[in-house]
Amino acid sequence: MGVIYILICISIFVASVFLYLFIKSVRSGQFDDQYTPSVRMLFEEETKKKKKEIETEQESN
């Protein structure tokens, strides 16, 4: 029944991956500012749209 070794090793490995990802995200500063990104995410798209609009306007002129 050696399968238990494999299964548990896999489960620990998966958990370790999550731990690694957590540490990595903390290190990259994701948790330093918990407000601004939530707002930023909402308007990123619109900026690009605006810019494109201007460009197309300029082109059509």
| Three-class HEC string of 11-27 | HHHHHHHHHHHHHHHHH
Q: DSSP state, 33?
A: -
CA nearest neighbour of 53 among 13, 6, 61? 61
Does position 19 interact with other proteins (CB under 8 A)? The reply is yes
Whole-number minimum distance, CB 50 to other proteins, in Å?
Answer: 5
Site string for other proteins, 23-52 (x = CB under 8 A): x--xx-x-xxxxxx--xx-xx--xx--xx-
Query: What's the CA gap between 6 and 8, in Å, rounded?
Result: 6
Q: Which residues bind other proteins (CB under 8 A)?
A: 1, 4-5, 8, 11-12, 15-16, 18-19, 22-23, 26-27, 29, 31-36, 39-40, 42-43, 46-47, 50-51, 53-54
